Chain A
Amino acid sequence: MAGLGKFLVRRALTFVPTLIGVTLIVFIIAYVIPANPVRAWAGGEKASQAAIEMIKKEYHLDQPWYDQYIFLVKGLFTNSLLDPLNQEPVFTNIGNRFVVTFQLALFAFFFVVLIGLPLGIISALKRNKATDMVLRIVALVFISTPIYVIAYLFIWLFFIHWNMTTLAGIPPGPPHQITHIPIIDDVLTLNWSNFVEQVRRFWLPGFTLGIAAAGVLMRFTRNSFLEAYSRDSTLFLKAKGVPKSRLYRHVLKNALVPVITILALQFGGLLSGTPITETVFNLPGIGRYALQSIMYLDFPALIGVTFLYAIVFVTANLVADILYAVIDPRVRF
């Protein structure tokens, strides 16, 4: 697997410009804003001139722009950059919230796969029949429904009406922590009572977050399946006298190659697509942290969050590439 190591290094190098670029974009946004963030950080209109000067010095705001930028990036890597709002290191804040977001994305991903894959395959198998038409429309409805609309419908149904979920607070993780993601730790330590608590809190936000992605996956799976079905190799299998069930096994395997790589990208998308869901369902995750940092012009935090998002994006792409190479014998590193 020496090839794999080389491939990873080569790919990782192409990520560097992307990561630098993303932080640079945030920096430019922060740099050009007319409002004075320092006053906000120092405590609003009543802030004393001395406090403002101190903060300016602390964040190198009295220095030229490149010095400010280097200060921010260096601070990120050494985790010495403090969030001016709570005086905690930015990455410590992010770490605490990432656990919530990751768990939310896991739940969403579960529903995406559970809904998207089978319905997409059924839709393709019943191509151009009534079932297919209905499922295609359902997928489009999923994609067309904004989170901020469906979330309230679900809250009304499952919380107000049937009381099948909780919306306040976050259940603490199990006492014994391995991965620090509560739901995974529950499974690993067989702590079922905490597992149920986590599920009760997270299933609805996860379902809400996942529904659009499930629609996307349904369509992608259907098209991928039909594309594989229309290949010459499928006709040749028929000419070989292969029975239907076995024919579909071939088609499915071929169709799943692109689907699995898309799944990796979708998980990345779910991780970075949480701001509205977390706001509506009152979950203290990364998305809400990003929103807050924008509202309070808290740019050290924003630059940290976007850096994390960029890492998620490049990692998802990398995982997709690796999966592709693992399942498709034609692709080698």
Chain B
Amino acid sequence: MPEPIIEIKNLSVYFYTYAGVVKAIENVSFDIYRGETLALVGETGCGKSVTSRAITKLIESPGRIVSGQVIYHRDDGSTVDLLKLSEEEIRKIRGNEIAYIFQDPHSSLDPLYTVGYQIGEAMEVHGKVKNIKEGIAKAVDILREVLIPDPERRVKNYPHELSGGMKQRVVIGIGIANNPRLLIADEPTTALDVTVQAQILELLNELKRKYNATVLLITHNLGVVAETAQRVVVMYAGKIAEIGTVDQIFHNPLHPYTAALLRAVPNPLGKIEKLESIPGTVPNLITPPKGCRFHPRCPLAEEICRRKEPELKEVEPGHFVACHRY
């Protein structure tokens, strides 16, 4: 039985905007196991990023975490609900035990500081180095680790002097600077050139192996999932549709949405067939559909789907689905 490092329970985040309450995620529950790579997939706006940020309370106004728990299992066996921690306590965990890599390296870095400073700063604020000078010195090693050539010179560069792929390597370097237990990579390759994407993914995989870290990979690219992850969480319109191993999801998708999603892209684990698009559009999360949120687009929708919200059920070991058909 794998042991969890994070247990997310009934997490809901709402955005109180002028246009109404946007229920970005509702009652989201899943576990992240120690040492695995868990992929969080779904269409744009389905709540993937919000979920990952809510883990360490990185939700800004007008958003608010309205309910739920994020149980974090420390290495010494103790557990703590991250959502109950004070601002200072959670700060000590962010970037230290749980680190992030954001989507767009062009906007993640502060343009006015050198990359060496920004990596050194990540270590300094968690007391890993005595001062920023020592941090910048150590940043050279980290730049070497993320395979940036000529790190002694690069450490003095400003972000705008680096290419997109290089910048993302720096961002990854900041992420791994403190040797985190959990690394949350939020679409780390989306903003990059196709040729660079593979390199970055490979780097991530390698670092994960080296440090034995747990990775939560957020992506909408199923090819990436098949290559890097062991388990998959599929989200639709702020809710969880299906959870399973890569094998279960790709070979035996239970939720009609997962099935549709797999038919919409070349199946990385199957033979290439005709691609189909999913009819309809992503629902408006101010007035989401009643019952199952996928029912307006679902080819198999029945009367009950319109009325009752399906609960997440374990259909086979480790394979959960929220659909009335099971």
Using a CB–CB distance below 8 Å, which chain A residues touch chain B?
128, 231-233, 235-244, 246, 250, 253-254, 257, 328-330
Q: Which residues of B contact A244 (CB under 8 A)?
A: 87
Report which of B94, B109, B112 forms a contact with A238, defined as CB distance below 8 A.
B94
Judge if B137 is at the interface, Cβ distance under 8 Å. Answer: no
Q: Is B112 within 8 A of A328, CB to CB?
A: yes
Q: Is A330 within 8 A of B102, CB to CB?
A: no
Q: Which residues of A contact B160 (CB under 8 A)?
A: 329-330
Q: Is A232 within 8 A of B108, CB to CB?
A: yes
Docked pose: A242 CA to B91 CA in angstroms: 7
Judge if B100 is at the interface, Cβ distance under 8 Å. Answer: yes
Q: Is B125 within 8 A of A330, CB to CB?
A: no
For A251, give the chain B residue with the smallest CB separation.
B110
In terms of DSSP, what is the predominant structure of the interface of chain A? helix
Judge if B285 is at the interface, Cβ distance under 8 Å. Answer: no
Q: Is B94 within 8 A of A239, CB to CB?
A: yes
Q: Is B110 within 8 A of A237, CB to CB?
A: yes
Q: Is B91 within 8 A of A241, CB to CB?
A: yes
29 A–B contact pairs at CB < 8 A?
Answer: A231-B107, A232-B104, A233-B107, A233-B108, A233-B109, A233-B110, A235-B58, A235-B60, A235-B102, A236-B108, A236-B171, A236-B174, A239-B95, A239-B102, A240-B99, A240-B121, A240-B174, A241-B93, A241-B95, A241-B126, A242-B121, A242-B125, A243-B88, A243-B125, A246-B125, A254-B110, A329-B111, A330-B158, A330-B160
Known: A233-B110, A250-B113. 4 other contacts (CB 8 A): A232-B107, A241-B126, A243-B91, A243-B125
For A235, give the chain B residue with the smallest CB separation.
B58
B 191-225 binary contact with A (CB < 8 Å = 1; else 0): 00000000000000000000000000000000000
Q: Is B112 within 8 A of A239, CB to CB?
A: no
Q: Is A236 within 8 A of B109, CB to CB?
A: yes
For B158, give the chain A residue with the smallest CB separation.
A329
Judge if B56 is at the interface, Cβ distance under 8 Å. Answer: yes
Nearest chain B CB to A246 CB, angstrom units:
7
Judge if B139 is at the interface, Cβ distance under 8 Å. Answer: no
Q: Is A241 within 8 A of B158, CB to CB?
A: no
Most chain A Cβ neighbours within 10 Å, of B112, B160, B174: B112
B 33-58 binary contact with A (CB < 8 Å = 1; else 0): 00000000000000000000000101
Nearest chain B CB to A231 CB, angstrom units:
6
Using a CB–CB distance below 8 Å, which chain B residues touch chain A?
56, 58, 60-61, 87-88, 91-96, 99-100, 102, 104, 107-113, 121-122, 125-126, 158, 160, 171, 174
Q: Is B100 within 8 A of A236, CB to CB?
A: yes
For B126, give the chain A residue with the smallest CB separation.
A241
Q: Which residues of B contact A330 (CB under 8 A)?
A: 111, 158, 160
Q: Is A239 within 8 A of B125, CB to CB?
A: no
Q: Is A241 within 8 A of B108, CB to CB?
A: no
Nearest chain B CB to A325 CB, angstrom units:
13
Q: Which residues of B contact A254 (CB under 8 A)?
A: 110-112
Nearest chain B CB to A80 CB, angstrom units:
50
Docked pose: A75 CA to B91 CA in angstroms: 68
Docked pose: A43 CA to B93 CA in angstroms: 84
Q: Which residues of A contact B122 (CB under 8 A)?
A: 240-242
Q: Which residues of A contact B61 (CB under 8 A)?
A: 128
Q: Which residues of A contact B171 (CB under 8 A)?
A: 236
Docked pose: A241 CA to B93 CA in angstroms: 7
For B177, give the chain A residue with the smallest CB separation.
A240
Q: Which residues of A contact B93 (CB under 8 A)?
A: 241
Q: Is B113 within 8 A of A239, CB to CB?
A: no
Knowing A236-B108, A328-B112 are in contact, say whether A241-B96 is a contact too (CB < 8 A): yes
Q: Which residues of B contact A233 (CB under 8 A)?
A: 107-111
Nearest chain A CB to B113 CB, angstrom units:
7
Docked pose: A329 CA to B58 CA in angstroms: 29
Q: Which residues of A contact B111 (CB under 8 A)?
A: 233, 254, 328-330
Nearest chain A CB to B2 CB, angstrom units:
26
Q: Which residues of B contact A236 (CB under 8 A)?
A: 100, 102, 108-109, 171, 174
Report which of A128, A231, A239, A242 forms a contact with B58, defined as CB distance below 8 A.
A239
Q: Is A239 within 8 A of B110, CB to CB?
A: no
Considering the complex of A and B, which 3 residue pairs feature the smallest CB-CB distances, nearest first? A241-B95, A239-B100, A240-B95
Nearest chain A CB to B108 CB, angstrom units:
4
Most chain A Cβ neighbours within 10 Å, of B92, B100, B126, B171: B100
Q: Which residues of A contact B95 (CB under 8 A)?
A: 239-242
Most chain B Cβ neighbours within 10 Å, of A235, A240, A246: A240
Most chain B Cβ neighbours within 10 Å, of A239, A254, A257, A329: A239
Knowing A235-B60, A250-B113 are in contact, say whether A240-B94 is a contact too (CB < 8 A): yes
Q: Is A329 within 8 A of B107, CB to CB?
A: no
Q: Which residues of B contact A237 (CB under 8 A)?
A: 110
Q: Which residues of B contact A128 (CB under 8 A)?
A: 61
Nearest chain A CB to B15 CB, angstrom units:
15
Nearest chain B CB to A299 CB, angstrom units:
49
Nearest chain A CB to B157 CB, angstrom units:
9
Docked pose: A191 CA to B280 CA in angstroms: 80
Q: Is B104 within 8 A of A240, CB to CB?
A: no
Docked pose: A254 CA to B107 CA in angstroms: 13
Q: Is A253 within 8 A of B112, CB to CB?
A: yes
Docked pose: A236 CA to B177 CA in angstroms: 14
Knowing A254-B112, A329-B112 are in contact, say whether A240-B125 is a contact too (CB < 8 A): yes
Q: Which residues of A contact B56 (CB under 8 A)?
A: 239
Knowing A240-B125, A241-B125, A241-B126 are in contact, say whether A250-B110 is a contact too (CB < 8 A): yes
For B88, give the chain A residue with the smallest CB separation.
A243
Docked pose: A330 CA to B160 CA in angstroms: 6
Q: Which residues of B contact A241 (CB under 8 A)?
A: 91-96, 122, 125-126
